[in-house]
């Protein structure tokens, strides 16, 4: 399903739908449910803004920026804001733009992170590390339409 955003307020509403979706598809501690999501799209298409809204919706008060130079940032999720049934405890935000090979993720503990069902992992530029991701990792596609318009396309499994 494709959502069109004409403003940051629209993007926040779409992020709310995403947070509700990930809350509904996973029960706390369930290992087989989805906890890794790719965010693909050109520079300026809204990937980081969307991540910032997801972070604020789950109680992260830190200023969330794209971790382009540090590759990865971790944020504790506030269970009082996210809700007692929200299945994740940590948001891991990865920007793979500068990664040339998926093996560069090994020192960051990426394999352990994706295996931990309490981590919510949002990856900008997932196409750069395709070899490190499961073939079932959903990719949300962001497109720059104009100065104030973006589209956000969810995979079929996430249609709401």
CATH number at residue 133: 3.40.50.300
pLDDT of residue 53: 96
pLDDT in tens, 21-53: 888 766 544 555 589 999 999 998 999 999 999
Mean pLDDT for the stretch of residues 140-154: 95
pLDDT of residue 28: 45
Is 146 among the domain residues? yes
DSSP for 63-118, written as a single string: -----TTTSEEEEE--HHHH-TT---SEEEEEE-TT-SSGGGGGGGTHHHHHH-TT
Is 4 among the domain residues? no
pLDDT above 90 covers what percent of the chain? 66
Is 7 among the domain residues? no
pLDDT above 70 covers what percent of the chain? 92
Contacts with 14 (C-beta within 8 Å, 6 or more apart), sequence order: 3, 5, 50, 152
pLDDT of residue 69: 76
Is 2 among the domain residues? no
pLDDT in tens, 44-93: 899 999 999 999 999 999 989 888 778 999 999 999 898 878 899 999 99
Tell whether pTM > 0.75.
Answer: yes
- Hey, which of 9-13, 65-69, 152-156 has the most confident mean pLDDT? 9-13
Whether the pLDDT of residue 147 is over 60: the answer is yes
User: Do the Cβ atoms of 26 and 33 come closer than 8 Å?
Assistant: yes
Count of structural domains, the chain: 1
Q: Which contiguous run of DSSP H or E holds residue 149?
A: strand 149-153
| Distance, CA of 75 to CA of 127 (rounded, Å) | 23
User: Do the Cβ atoms of 158 and 87 come closer than 8 Å?
Assistant: no
What range defines the domain where residue 149 resides?
12-23+33-158
Burial 3-41 (b: 16+ CB within 10 A, else e): bebeeeebbbebbeebbebbbeebeeeeeeebbbbbbbb
Is 1 among the domain residues? no
Is 140 among the domain residues? yes
pLDDT of residue 29: 47
User: Do the Cβ atoms of 151 and 14 come closer than 8 Å?
Assistant: no
User: Do the Cβ atoms of 141 and 41 come closer than 8 Å?
Assistant: yes
The per-residue pLDDT of the chain, averaged, comes to 89
């Amino acid at each position: 399903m494709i959502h069109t955003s004409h403003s940051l307020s629209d993007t926040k509403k779409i992020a709310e739908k995403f947070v509700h979706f990930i809350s509904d598809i996973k029960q706390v501690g369930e290992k087989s449910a989805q906890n890794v999501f790719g965010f693909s799209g050109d520079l300026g298409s809204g990937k980081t803004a969307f991540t910032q809204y997801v972070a604020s919706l789950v109680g992260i008060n830190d200023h969330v920026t794209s971790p382009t130079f540090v590759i990865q940032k971790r944020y504790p999720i506030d269970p009082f804001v996210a809700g007692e049934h929200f299945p994740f405890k940590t948001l891991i935000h990865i920007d793979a733009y500068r990664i040339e090979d998926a093996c560069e993720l090994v020192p960051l503990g990426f394999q352990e992170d994706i295996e931990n069902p309490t981590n919510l992992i949002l990856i900008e530029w997932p196409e750069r590390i395709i070899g490190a991701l499961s073939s079932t990792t959903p990719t949300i596609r962001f497109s720059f339409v104009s100065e104030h318009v973006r589209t956000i396309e969810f995979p079929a499994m996430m249609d709401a």
